[in-house]
Structure 1
Amino acid sequence: MAIHAGIYVRQSERRVTGSEASTTTQREECLKDIARWDVPPDHVAVYEDLGMSAFKDAERPAYERLLRDVRAGRINVIVVHYMSRLSRKTAMETIGELRPLLMNRVRIVSVGEHRTFHADDQSALVELLFKLQASHEESQNKSRAIRAAKALEASLGGYTGKAPFGFTLVHEIRRSTDDRPVNVKILTPDTEHEAPIVRRIVDMVEEWITAGDTSGSCWKLARRLEAEGLLTRGKKTAQQHADAPWDAATVRRILIDPRIAGFACESVYGTRRDGTPSRKVAEYRIIRDDSGNPVSAYEPIVSPERWYRVQDWVGDRRSGAGDWQGQPSGILSAMELLYCECGAYMTHGGTGSKKHYRCRRRTAKPDQHLGDVTIGAKGIEAYLADRVLTVVGTSQGDEATKTVLEIASARYAYEQERQESPQVVEERDWLLAERGNLRQARQQRRVEKRHDCALAERMRTLDARIADLRNSEEVELPRSVWLPADGTDPIGPGSWWNQATRDDKRAFFRLFLDRVEVRKAYRWAGQGVPIGSRVCLTWAGGINLDVLP
């Protein structure tokens, strides 16, 4: 029978220097062993998982691909340096994965242990079980030791993770409770390189806020950093990502990190499209004391007041909101408002009468559209304006419509309040951001019951101060400006809509709409298909006014 060998190599963690010596050594040793076989293989394939643990339930793409190739008959001999490279799970878990392969006459060769495991040798299978269980227990003991060491470091004020951008780790000897010396790492601002870059980023954002410049974006910040010759960590250290340029995601992650304001926090990781955990940080949660106040754990790079001020600016430039565009090309562009039925953002394109919004996703999941989804820009913009102005002109509506108008009024009032003096604006921004953090902590039940009363009292104090800062006159929606007095077409010639600037129209939509979803037109080029039949609106507050009560 022809031999088709699959070499599996794995390294648990990527080295800081980018070195892959471990997997390289494994591969070379396996190839040397294969060269000594009496019958050379007809085919040799290498499967490499770099930075993947075989102890945790993390996905190992190369390992899964190897198993698929074995089941398909493309591989009949698995070659590993040691059995621990193949798996560090319990013996029963691993043998459950490998039993169908072994029963299908597949051999497993462990080069370092000089053993071959296959179904015909029962003693070898028993030995395989023992080796797998020993590898699992070794990983368990190592994991316990690491957790204990990290807990001891943390109890002594040490930092146990990788230093975030702006900081460096300084080693310091501290004494444990039993007076033993312990080497801990202290998170300290990197005053020579990274901390000044963080301050420069915050300075640029504050310049835009003070000037009222709404065209600023994280993408523009990245381009400025590149133009000023400021180096990313990868370029500075010339290690794992030596060619990494500045990008919008990196800048945003730096700005939202509470640690640059000195606050202790925990990272919250996102999820992939299939629901599995991602390694990318989605947000940071501030750790709070018994009174609900943020815990100050590090020397700040920027003051908490400055950090809170930029959070609202960052929030207006959410992921996918078109940070790459200095000036949006369409009314609905870069607002995180217009979506395709498949969940992707729709982009603006075309010229003249051919301007349109389009979803360019061609690879869709089951039950999703194939090919492009396109809708005329002029048609959908007019349709949305007409729908919103109809709601604005509603004198007596149902509860859902009243709720939409109330939320829109609150949004409008907040925008008007932001025109106040910089001192008032700065204080209100700080109070609102702090209140938002407290509300989020309570809603997601990240605080103990004994702390909840203190948080509630803190929120009441914030509400009282926010109320003191409000204008004495209640701000109302300017219906008389938006709607024609004579009852004519609200979007026709001479109307407010017809004469409004693009920025005014965008601000108008933000008040009333949270999401606009476009369905594919299944008639040729969408001709003759009413726009209303293709568009689903989610109004302010997540309300759908098209659903009957």
Structure 2
Amino acid sequence: MTRTKTRKAATVSPTMRCAIYTRKSTEDGLEQEFNSLDAQREAGENYIRSQVNEGWEIIPDGYDDGGFTGGNMDRPALQRLMADIEAGKVDCVVVYKVDRLSRSLLDFARLMEVFDRQRVSFVSVTQQFNTASSMGRLVLNVLLSFAQFEREIISERTRDKIAAARRKGKWVGGMPLLGYDVDPRGSRLVVNDDEAVRVRTIFDLYLQHQSLITVIREIDDRGWVNKRWVTKKGIERGGKPFTKTSLHKLLTNVTYLGKVRYKDEVHEGEHEAIIDPDVWQQVQTLMQRNGRTGGAEVRNKFGALLKGLLRCVACDSAMTPTHATKNGNKRYRYYVCCHAQKRGWQNCPSPSIPATEIERFVVDQIHCIGRDPDLIRETLTQVREQAQSQLVELEAEQASLERELARWAAEIRDVVAHVGPGDEDSPAVARLADLQERTRTAERRATEIREQIRAITARTIDQSEVAAAMAKFDPVWKALTPREQARIIELLVERVDYDGERGKVAVTFHPDGIRNFGDEFVTAEDAA
């Protein structure tokens, strides 16, 4: 009798191709040799190896998102993983915890739809479940709901903490501001003296030109850029040229008043103010009047000679030209206080003044300059005081530039000492090129400042020059169109202050107005 031995066929498990997905919300610590992403991946690999008898194998491609939030699906590695799932390259997705894949219940539901459609399983290593069973799906939804709840609670606490800190006047982070540095010992702003000079000059330039575009041209000519700073990792940020948007933000930032803003609230800050409150208010008034354009040239339809020059002393507000038509076609022109327009006429002691009357007064003052020796002396005193103010500003900027040039020169020497053959493409060489470009720009601006200082110093105007220039004001004035007359007034006059409560008008002349008038118009007339 022959005995037959039968063998049972070995069962071969189907292959389960497993992709490991890892995520970390911040970049902190990612530069370490073994970081959080490595730890998550190692846990996933160990779990997959424990299931090798079930046919599980690791897909060698890494799906790692370092420095990406789980609150949305805008993550490069996740998008790559989803593309591989759609292409049929993945059978199972393994994560360390559920919230590594997503912290949003809605996003997770969308991911699960794709997984179901492609017959892809989902496994969480630490929570020990997978979506192959209905119980796994239930546990998954419960865990994800708690993960989203935790995220929302953390967000609320963070917002409350920021709000409380702001209300106490503390600096709670963000991009550094031109004019300030962040104290490394704490969350506090400290004044950067060199940059503070630039900020004050930018405010003064806007008061002078009342146009964002014009101020940007001035800033570009001086080689000034937005705040430069170095991150904790040593990466330099900022330093971009000003735009209308960035200049508008600078001119309307309450931080320069020594305050902090939280939403619509403004609170006293712990840091020192850079801008005088009066200067700040004047700039805000002009910005509101000019709109978001910040002073783009507007039409002067009826030839208002004092448009942009006349101010109401009582309200510290600009006065704008307007008109009324009576008896069908007779037009009456006025200047009205912008504050009175917005807050009510009862808030201003002099809400309006006839345009012809105030314009004639200012023109008469200009006429009188060349005829009255006392007025000439008074005008010269005013011009010299303004010239001295310009010199102080230029000398402060010059000193700031010299400090920057010295600092950059020292850094250039240090970089050069560490650059050797074959380092042409190294970051040090790129840094050296950047420093050299900054130095060239600063030296060019320093040369311009020296020329301006020399010109102001040499440009001493005397009484005879004032008399000679203003003696020809009458014939030149009468030959001009209303638009040209408005330009002459703007050339000569810096501002006109109207005090309706006391019945006084003060005219402030440009430091170089009389000389420029003589150069531009008197010389042209003589040549003709």
TM-score w.r.t. length of structure 2: 0.45
Which of the pair is proportionally richer in helix? 2
- Select the structure of larger CA radius of gyration: 2
